[in-house]
């Protein structure tokens, strides 16, 4: 039995100016997930919720859990007025080891979209089982998570695209799809 769990906290898109401008609606999960977030799932045995007890602090975190074949995700698509935004979040990733036919992975994914919501490229901050077959390429940047502790992740959107996604034309990027994602390749 393979399991994959994702724990996430305070997923934010922040301005690189002196003041913070949050582009995500309910990016801190303080309101019910129905506010700002869209649920996307495949298969059964899914848990998606928010809870103030996932991290030892008084605020809310979101949980995305998937057991057996399929995926579970919450996401939102936001307009990017420009690419000079910083993307930052705290996360704790968990998963079981799986096998070559049933491998789990948990990830925070930022997908770069054009004006028509077509995928141009993605950055995935991910915690895979050893059997995960994701491969980095010109339109896929993989950031490997190596532990199950709460960690802070940060990158600048323009820098991410320019330095890590050579197949993405920055002039075409108009939106970002931010996803909290749990996947299992088999049962």
* pLDDT tens-place string over residues 105-162: 899 999 999 999 999 999 999 999 888 899 999 999 999 999 888 888 998 999 999 9
Q: Which of 146, 66, 151 is nearest to 104 (CA)?
A: 66
Listed in order, strand segments (DSSP E) in the chain are 3-15, 38-42, 46-51, 61-67, 70-79, 85-95, 104-113, 119-128, 140-144, 151-156, 175-184
Domains held by the chain: number: 1
Q: At 92, which CATH number?
A: 2.60.120.260
The CA angle 99-101-102, to the nearest 5 degrees, is: 65
Per the document, the length of the chain is: 187
How many percent of the chain have pLDDT more than 90? Answer: 46
Buried b (16+ CB within 10 A) or exposed e, 15-34: eeeeeeeebbebbbbeeebe
Q: How confident is the model at residue 187 (pLDDT cuts 50, 70, 90)?
A: low
**Containing structural domain, residue 150:** 3-184
Q: pLDDT digit string (tens) for 65-76?
A: 888 889 999 999
Report the pLDDT value the prediction gives residue 99, as an integer from 0 to 100: 81
């Amino acid at each position: 039995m393979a399991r994959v769990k994702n724990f996430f906290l305070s997923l934010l898109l922040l301005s690189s100016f002196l003041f913070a401008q949050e582009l995500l609606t309910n990016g801190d999960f303080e309101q019910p997930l129905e506010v700002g977030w869209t649920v996307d799932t495949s298969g059964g045995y899914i848990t998606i919720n928010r809870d103030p007890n996932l991290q030892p602090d008084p605020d809310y975190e979101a949980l995305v859990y998937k057991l057996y074949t399929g995926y579970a995700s919450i996401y939102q698509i936001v307009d990017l007025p420009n690419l000079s935004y910083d993307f930052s979040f705290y996360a704790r990733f968990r998963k079981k080891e799986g096998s070559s036919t049933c491998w789990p992975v948990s990830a925070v994914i930022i997908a770069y979209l054009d004006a028509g919501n077509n995928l141009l490229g993605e950055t995935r901050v991910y915690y895979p089982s050893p059997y995960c077959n994701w491969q980095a390429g010109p339109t896929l940047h993989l950031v490997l998570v190596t532990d199950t502790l709460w960690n802070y992740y940060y990158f600048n959107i323009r820098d991410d695209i320019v330095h890590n996604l050579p197949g993405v034309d920055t002039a075409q990027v108009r939106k970002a799809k931010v996803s909290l994602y749990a996947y299992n390749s088999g049962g």
